[in-house]
Amino acid sequence: MTIKLLLIRHGESEDNVQRKISGFSNVNLTEKGVWQAKKLKYRLKDMPVDIVYCSDLKRAIHTTNIVFGGRGIDILQKPNLKEVYLGDWESRPFEEIQSREKDRYTSWFENPDEKASAPRGESLADFNDRVMTEVNNILQKNNHGEKDKTIAIVCHGLAIRIVLCNALNLELKNIWYIKQKSTALNIIDYNGSKRFVSLLNDTSHLEDWWKKN
Partner 1 sequence: MAVKLFLIRHGESDGNVQRKFSGFKDVDLTEKGIWQANRLARRLEGVQVDAVYCSDLKRARHTAEIIFGDRGKDIVASPNLREINFGIWEGMTFEEIKLREGAKFTSWMKNPDEKTIIPQGESLAILNERVMNEVNRILQEHKNEEKDKTIAIICHGGAIRIILCNALNLELKNLWFIKQNSTALNIIEYYDHKGVISLLNDTSHLEDWWERGLKINPEKKKDE
Residues forming the site for partner 1 (CB under 8 A):
38-39, 42-47, 167-171, 174, 176-179, 181, 189, 195-202, 204, 209-213
Residue whose CB is less far from partner 1, 125 or 168: 168
Minimum CB separation of residue 42 from partner 1 in Å reads: 6
Q: In which element (H, E) is residue 80 found?
A: none
Minimum CB separation of residue 32 from partner 1 in Å reads: 13
* 9 backbone dihedrals φ, ψ, rounded to 5°: -85, 145
Core vs surface per residue 57-84: b (16+ CB within 10 A) or e:
bebbbbbbbbbbeeeeeebeebebbbbb
Residue whose CB is less far from partner 1, 38 or 58: 38
Minimum CB separation of residue 38 from partner 1 in Å reads: 8
Backbone conformation region of residue 121, classed left if phi is above 0, alpha if psi is from -120 to 50, else beta: beta
Residue whose CB is less far from partner 1, 43 or 71: 43
**Angle of CA points 53, 54, 56, to nearest 5°:** 135
Residue whose CB is less far from partner 1, 120 or 179: 179
Minimum CB separation of residue 8 from partner 1 in Å reads: 15
CA distances from 208 to 67, 68, 90, 187, 212 (A): 19, 23, 35, 22, 7
Residue whose CB is less far from partner 1, 57 or 67: 67
Minimum CB separation of residue 205 from partner 1 in Å reads: 8
